[in-house]
């Protein structure tokens, strides 16, 4: 399907633009959305902040040769284009109750946030139509409603005649997600019903999917911010003191969790040789060392035949040793030998 733009009322910008575009291009003219920063003298004025890493750039770029590799859909995955001052390429067209989906893995866990930027295009007359983006990871589900009906507002571009005789609405969207898991799936979908007439075509598409990963400081394993003072856990060999990772704890350290503490917690004892908090015997809340328990946890079954009847076992062992000694003396040492009779 070829969608022809007969009148371009405003420039359709990249999804990271906070204002209008440079005439004749899709690049931002005066400002960029976070985590991009603006540089008016650069060929591409919006660049990522140095504290972030662009993990997946231009999954659906505005070029004619992009592919839908890794995406799945209820419909065929083809290129939809609108031609005006510039040519805009979308993944589509899709209709009511269609979706496109892709899963990303291998992101790692040393980040605290993901920013997703994308563009929706909706063409024709829709009734009760709603476009949505759903992001799923190990932390849960985040949903962003992108467009309901034919409402074009801030940071959107209205086109007339994009589907032969119906208006099209291009919408730039962005969503910041608290994120620290290795997985992210993205699902763009439409719900509702469309009014179909012989002269109208209802369609939607997606363009310029950008996924920006905000990484932790290099001293952190996981974190809740970009600074070295925002660590939530530490790499091997470092210990978490408050929210920073250090080589040596000032008081005590729990090696199993790589955390510094001022005193060893329940179920641990202090190893005075290395200042490590080491585990007590199983179900022991307070102990002297790894084998000697002082206080057992409530509900612990303390029955131990060897320990509970230790005195009896000692007496039985003494009797057994005495019996063996008497028998040995009787059969070996109490008989006269040949030399004793000489």
**pLDDT value, residue 165:** 46
Q: Which of 8-22, 87-101, 161-175, 237-251 has the highest mean pLDDT?
A: 237-251
Which helix (H) or strand (E) covers residue 316, if one does? helix 310-328
Distance, CA of 191 to chain centre: 27
- Of the given ranges (98-107, 165-174, 321-330), which has the lowest mean pLDDT? 165-174
pLDDT tier, 310 (very low <50, low <70, confident <90, very high otherwise): low
* CA-to-CA dists, residue 283 to 80, 239, 303, angstroms: 64, 26, 13
CB 186 within 8 A of CB 137: no
Nearest Cα to Cα of residue 235 among 250, 252, 251, 223: 223
**pLDDT value, residue 12:** 75
**pLDDT value, residue 227:** 92
**pLDDT value, residue 7:** 31
CB 79 within 8 A of CB 121: no
Q: Is 255 helix (H, G, I), strand (E, B) or coil?
A: coil
pLDDT tier, 54 (very low <50, low <70, confident <90, very high otherwise): low
What is the rounded average pLDDT for all residues in the chain? 76
pLDDT tens-digit map of 245-261: 999 999 999 998 899 99
pTM tops 0.85, yes or no: no
pLDDT tier, 122 (very low <50, low <70, confident <90, very high otherwise): confident
pLDDT tens-digit map of 265-281: 999 999 988 899 999 99
Show the tokens assigned to 258.
């790589």
Mean pLDDT of 194-216: 73
**pLDDT value, residue 155:** 45
């Amino acid at each position: 399907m070829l969608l022809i733009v007969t009148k371009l009322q405003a420039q359709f910008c990249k999804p990271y633009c906070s204002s209008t575009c440079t005439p004749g291009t899709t690049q931002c003219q005066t400002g960029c959305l976070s985590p991009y920063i603006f540089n008016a003298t650069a060929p591409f004025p919006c660049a990522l902040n140095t504290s972030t890493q662009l993990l997946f750039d231009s999954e659906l770029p505005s070029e004619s040769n992009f592919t839908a590799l890794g995406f799945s859909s209820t419909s065929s995955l083809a290129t939809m284009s609108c031609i005006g001052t510039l040519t805009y390429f979308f993944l589509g067209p899709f209709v009511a109750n269609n979706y496109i989906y892709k899963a990303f893995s291998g992101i790692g866990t040393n980040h605290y946030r993901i920013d997703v930027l994308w563009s929706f295009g909706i063409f024709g007359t829709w009734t009760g139509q709603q476009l949505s983006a759903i992001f799923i990871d190990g932390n849960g589900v985040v949903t962003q409603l992108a467009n309901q009906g034919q409402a074009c507002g801030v940071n959107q571009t209205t086109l007339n005649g994009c589907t032969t005789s119906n208006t099209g609405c291009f919408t730039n969207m962005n969503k910041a997600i608290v994120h620290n898991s290795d997985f992210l799936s993205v699902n763009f979908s439409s719900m509702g019903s469309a009014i179909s007439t012989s002269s109208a075509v209802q369609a939607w598409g997606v363009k310029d999917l950008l996924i920006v990963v905000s990484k932790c400081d290099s001293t952190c394993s996981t974190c809740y911010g970009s600074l070295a003072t925002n660590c939530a856990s530490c790499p091997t060999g470092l210990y978490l003191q408050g929210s920073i990772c250090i080589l040596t704890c000032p008081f005590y350290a729990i090696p199993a969790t790589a955390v510094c503490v001022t005193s060893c917690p329940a179920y641990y004892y202090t190893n005075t040789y290395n200042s490590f908090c080491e585990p007590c015997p199983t179900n022991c809340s307070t102990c002297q060392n790894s084998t000697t328990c002082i206080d057992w946890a409530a509900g612990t079954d303390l029955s131990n035949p060897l320990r509970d009847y230790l005195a009896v076992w000692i007496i039985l062992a003494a009797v057994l040793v005495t019996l063996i000694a008497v028998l040995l003396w009787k059969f070996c040492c109490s008989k006269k030998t040949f030399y004793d009779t000489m």
